[in-house]
Every structure is written in structure tokens, then in C-alpha cells.
Amino acid sequence: MRVLLVEDDALLGDGIRAGLIQTGFAVDWAKDGREAELAVSTQTYDAVVLDLGLPRLPGLDVLRRARAAKNPVPILILTARDMVPDRIAGLDAGADDYLVKPFDLGELQARLRALVRRASGQVETVITHGALRLDPLDHSVQFEGRPVELSAREFAVLQELLRHPGRVLAKASLEEKIYGWGDEIDSNAIEVYVHHLRRKLDHKLIRTVRGVGYMLAKAAP
Ligand code: CA
């Protein structure tokens, strides 16, 4: 899942970015309002974490312009403790949720997962597919009842495939979901992750669609 983080405070932004990457999100970090506006209007994100007090363009304007352009991306705003009017204005302008600084990183992660789930119409937190069971909350995967250890990126690739059963996902779109700005992309990384997933789970779980990408095989009845 790919998240746009908009935060001008270097220390706070760094901490949030690291925490989100650790739990398997790909993170693009925009440090001012204009950069955020450009990113939101040109890239597809699963969610946006938006600070309101920003240089060059206020967060509220980033939010209003995204909604004016009919961009439905879930947006969570970050507000200072004493800025209740900002919070109300943010929600009125189309924000989906908010957190008051200082906040707990675990709570941010949980709220983001909830937003993404709601946006994709999924009610269940745990995703199952045949004998496979993936729990985004504790980052665990089970296959045929036994726990399977996956790296953060293997987990992210599997989660993307599970979120789109029956759809072929292009290699580039998988890359987009697991890498943020500045992450080094190895040209055959996705092939390697898929190879590992097949080996750790089931060789027939992920189908290669030649020249197109990958898709989840139909679950055995
Ligand atoms: Ca700020």
C-alpha cells in the first residue's frame, strides 16, 4: 500500500515515515503544500497523511483542491492540539479522519488501515484465500494453518495480490505499491519476491501472466 505523507517538520516526518515503512507501507514524503498538491494530482495513493500547517500552500488548500478535482483518496489530517477550528474545517473540506499531535504511531497505522479498508469496501480485517490467511493488523500470514515468515516487502506484494483477486497486476503497479520516493528499486525485485512467496507458500498460488504481470490463482474450493 502506498501512502503520501505530507509533513514539513523534518524530525516528525522522518519518524512517521520510518514507522510506516516498518509496517509495510510504501511512503512518499512531501515537505510542502505545493509538492503535496502535485503528488496527489499525479499519483495514485491508498491514503494521504496531511499536516495542515505547511509552507507554500496550506494543507487545507491541498485537501480542498483534491476534493474539487473529485479525487476520492482517503485523507487523514494531522492537527495541533489547540486548533479545533482547523480540525472542523478539515473534516468539512472532505478529510476522512484526523489525529491530534502528538499522537501514537500505532494509532496512526491502525487508522490508516481502517481508512484503506473502508475505501476498498472491505469490512473484514483478515484476508483469506483458500488455505491462505493474511492479517494486516499483526502482519501475520498463515498457510494451511501454519505460520509463515515473510519479509516486509514479500508481505506487501502478497497483500496487493490478495486485495485484487481475479485481476492481473502489472509489475510496475506492484512496484508502485511497495516503493516510495527515494527507495532503490531493483529491476527484478518483484520477480524475486514472487519467487519467495511461491516457495514459502504454494508454487501454484501466484500465476505469471506473460508480458502483463501477476495474478492470484483461483482458490481451491
Ligand atoms: Ca507543520
Q: Can you list the pairs that 168-172 forms with residues at least 24 positions away whose Cβ atoms lie under 8 Å?
A: 168/209, 168/212, 168/213, 168/214, 168/215, 169/213, 169/214, 169/215, 170/212, 170/213, 171/213, 171/214
- pLDDT tens-place string over residues 105-135: 999 999 998 998 888 776 668 889 999 999 9
Grid cell listed for 3: 501512502
28 Cα–ligand 1 center, Å: 17
Asked whether the beta carbons of 27 and 180 are under 8 A apart, the reply is: yes
- pLDDT tens-place string over residues 50-65: 999 999 999 999 999 9
53 Cα–ligand 1 center, Å: 4
β-pair type (140-143, 146-148): antiparallel
98 Cα–ligand 1 center, Å: 14
Domains of the chain: 2-120 (3.40.50.2300), 127-216 (1.10.10.10)
Grid cell listed for 13: 516526518
Confidence of residue 103 (pLDDT cuts 50, 70, 90): very high
Measured CA to CA in angstroms, residue 2 lies from 9, 45, 68, 78, 137 at distances of 21, 5, 22, 18, 17
What is the reported pTM?
A: 0.77
42 Cα–ligand 1 center, Å: 23
What residues sit around ligand 1, an ion, with C-beta below 5 angstroms?
Answer: 8, 51, 53
13 Cα–ligand 1 center, Å: 10
- pLDDT tens-place string over residues 157-180: 999 999 898 899 999 989 988 888
115 Cα–ligand 1 center, Å: 22
Hey, CA dihedral for 94, 96, 98, 104, is it positive or negative?
Answer: negative
51 Cα–ligand 1 center, Å: 6
Asked whether the beta carbons of 74 and 116 are under 8 A apart, the reply is: yes
| Mean pLDDT score across all residues of the chain | 92
75 Cα–ligand 1 center, Å: 16
3-state secondary structure 23-91: CCCEEEEECCHHHHHHHHHHCCCCEEEEECCCCCCCHHHHHHHHHHCCCCCCEEEEECCCCHHHHHHHH
32 Cα–ligand 1 center, Å: 9
Confidence of residue 143 (pLDDT cuts 50, 70, 90): very high
For residue 24, pLDDT beyond 80:
yes
For residue 18, pLDDT beyond 80:
yes
Confidence of residue 221 (pLDDT cuts 50, 70, 90): low
Measured CA to CA in angstroms, residue 176 lies from 2, 96, 143, 168 at distances of 7, 23, 26, 15
High-pLDDT (> 70) share of the chain, %: 98
Confidence of residue 39 (pLDDT cuts 50, 70, 90): very high
Confidence of residue 187 (pLDDT cuts 50, 70, 90): confident
- pLDDT tens-place string over residues 190-215: 999 999 999 999 999 999 999 899 99
